[in-house]
Structure 1
Amino acid sequence: MRIAIVFNPGSGRRAATTSLGQVTSALASHNHTIEVFDRVAEPDFEAAIRREAHDFDRVIAIGGDGTLNGVVNGVMTSDHPQLPIAFVPTGRGKDTARALTSWKAEALGDGVFEAAEAVPTDLVRIELASGTTRYAINVANIGLAAHAAHLANGMPRWLGSLSYVLGAGRAIVPPREFAVRMCIDGDVIAINNALLLSVCNGRAMGGGIYIAPEADQHDGLLDIVIAANAHLGDLALQLPKLKSGKPFDHKALHRWRGEEVTLQPTSTTWFDADGERLNTQPLKLAVAAGAVNWIAPQ
């Protein structure tokens, strides 16, 4: 089997480097051909995966959600979009792994990885104002959540998921509200004073905040969530509920499900996909049902 491994040596306070050794050791007895891509040494690793995807039978991402996002986009824009992907999460947030079953590095041995089958899994296809198409496997954010993730990425890694809470605290003062006009599967919706808009494939973001606790990455639907007209103190009080993973209602949270959402331009300049900042606003986000082949432990 020909296996590509993409890893971020800075992820998880060197946890990715440790995991890389465990993964290669676990796979060593099966005579695989393995090629390792270092995200730091090769910053344009996404282009490398896109260019060489047809040379591999499987790809393993070791790192955070951003590393996985780059692998997903490299595969999906290659001439081999069916290339199966496995994930060993070592980042600070681990939000994708809260919904999609992922691997522990030491668990890939004894033929377990080779026997695991790929399962068609949904993605979010994002059409940007620049004309570029991107993909997210977990969530695309506009507003507060995207700004908070950007700030968190600049904080010390030892803070772990706490960095997202601190980032949100910095991003929310003063509140940067914006107006949203969108169309979900033909239904037009307009909301003023939005703090964030999240188009979710997965359940959690921001290091364990379950913004869409009932989302399912195999149902062919997106979960769209807007926080609007929100009192900051009240939102802070909801954090325990948001981190519980259980469904709950709140007057500031508005939820929809659909296959496609189109957006008019907004005043905010904060956009991201799986925590990776987007350079221009998403104008159309649609579910790409079963688009990625996801390898999970059986």
Structure 2
Amino acid sequence: MGEPEKRHLRLCHRRNQAAWGCSGHAHRLQNSIGVLPLMPKIKLVVNPVSGRGAGLRSVPYLEENLKDLHPSLVLTERPGHAQELACEAVASGFEVVVAVGGDGTSNEVLNGLVQAQLKGVGSAKMGVISVGRGNDFAYGIGVPKGLPEGCQILRQGKTKVIDVGVVSGGFYPQGRYFGNGVGIGFDAVVGFEALKLAPLSGFASYIIAALKTIYLYYTAPIVKITLDDQTIETPALMVSIMNGRRMGGGFMMAPASSTQDGLFDVCIAGQVSRAEIFKLIPRFMKGTQEGHPAIRTIRSRQVAVTALQGSLPAHADGETLCTAGENLAVSLHPAVLEVITMTT
């Protein structure tokens, strides 16, 4: 994204903020239910297959519990459809677009909203109601899993502005936006394997997939990692480029990361034995991996990863970027997207 596009995104955000008032919050109304925001025009983009069908099962609840807000609800029909629907919603004058699903749905809606800004179509706030498997993006912006929780946060209308990353390479040479993070190596293979575990959902599927991946992906490729102020050549079993804090529904890849600080937290895991991977998994679950001799975390706004030996399986917000890539370029753009959240 060039400097003119960045200026355009900042201008769209200022216009959007002005429409809600300087605080970024909606005006409020007291009624018999409690304190409710006078919500703008809302579009709910529901992925019916998210969370093994939890998306479709959520529709009656949403229609009943949000009926006083008069949202427009639409179901996605194919991969990539949520991105199209989000962009179309902005063009139709919707001021809030809510992703109802998991990380894949959220990523598509985010891409649609950013593309709408870049094309000059307009801007809208993004909401999330988490009914998917991982829900890591929602976690990173302060939205807990669950229909009641998501609906309550939507009603409250609190917002904050977050940074958005863009990654180029693999299946997306033109670039793909993301809100949570890019996982390269072991982390990506865990995600690929979790998708194959049809009977399981949620964090359990990622735990089983992680244990399986220990026997599938244990030889680290040699990579060159170019950061803002240094270049590293090293065997890296995993490189996690984090805007958020968590991946895989419960692995704290960057426990100190913030979506509002203008920097990625880049977690690099070097080559370790399979036995040592077993020991590291619970540390990542607790977010206590820092201090292990094979782990280092570096903060940077720009990251480029090149495979010198081996290849790069990678994902962005759970969406596959490549299964055997060679180069990925990642950059962070501050204060791009306004999201509805529990915390400001």
Please tell me the residue identity of whatever aligns with 1:60.
V
- 2:54 is equivalent to residue 11 of structure 1: no
Counterpart contact for 2:219–2:271, Cα < 8 Å: no
Q: Aligned match of 2:332 in 283, 287, 298?
A: 287
RMSD, matched Cα:
2.4
- 2:81 is equivalent to residue 44 of structure 1: yes
| SS of aligned partner of 2:58 | helix
Task: Spell out, residue by residue over 1:21-72, the C-alpha distance to the aligned partner (whole angstroms, 9 max, x if none).
Answer: 3223232113x35141x23457533223234422211111111111111111
Which one has the largest radius of gyration? 2
Q: What TM-score results when the alignment is normalised by the length of structure 1?
A: 0.89
Match of 2:314 in 1: 271
Larger CA deviation: 54-63 vs 256-265: 256-265
Match of 1:147 in 2: 189
Q: Aligned match of 1:53 in 90, 98, 103?
A: 90
Whole-Å separation in 1 of the counterparts to 2:189 and 2:151: 39
> CA distance change for structure 1 residues 162 and 81 in 2, over 3 Å: closer, same or farther?
farther
Match of 1:69 in 2: 107
Percent of counterpart pairs with the same letter? 26
Please tell me the residue identity of whatever aligns with 1:236.
F
Counterpart contact for 2:48–2:56, Cα < 8 Å: yes
Please tell me the residue identity of whatever aligns with 1:47.
E
| SS of aligned partner of 2:283 | helix
Higher helix share: 2
- The structural deviation recorded for 1:273 is 0.4
- 2:59 is equivalent to residue 20 of structure 1: yes
Whole-Å separation in 1 of the counterparts to 2:102 and 2:219: 27
Q: Which runs of 5+ in 2 are unaligned?
A: 1-39
- The structural deviation recorded for 1:183 is 1.5
Task: Spell out, residue by residue over 1:61-108, the C-alpha distance to the aligned partner (whole angstroms, 9 max, x if none).
Answer: 111111111111111112346311111111222222333211642356
Match of 1:106 in 2: 148
Q: Aligned match of 1:2 in 41, 49, 58?
A: 41
Q: Aligned match of 1:127 in 140, 143, 168?
A: 168
Match of 1:179 in 2: 222
Q: Aligned match of 2:136 in 73, 76, 95?
A: 95
| SS of aligned partner of 1:177 | coil
Q: What TM-score results when the alignment is normalised by the length of structure 2?
A: 0.78
Q: Tell me how many residue pairs correspond in the alignment.
A: 294
Counterpart contact for 1:20–1:62, Cα < 8 Å: no
Whole-Å separation in 2 of the counterparts to 1:44 and 1:18: 19
> CA distance change for structure 1 residues 123 and 43 in 2, over 3 Å: closer, same or farther?
closer
Higher relative contact order, structure no. (Cα contacts within 8 Å, ≥ 6 residues apart) = 1
Whole-Å separation in 2 of the counterparts to 1:81 and 1:268: 39
| SS of aligned partner of 1:113 | helix
Please tell me the residue identity of whatever aligns with 2:220.
E
Please tell me the residue identity of whatever aligns with 1:275.
G
- The structural deviation recorded for 1:223 is 0.5
Larger CA deviation: 274-283 vs 136-145: 274-283
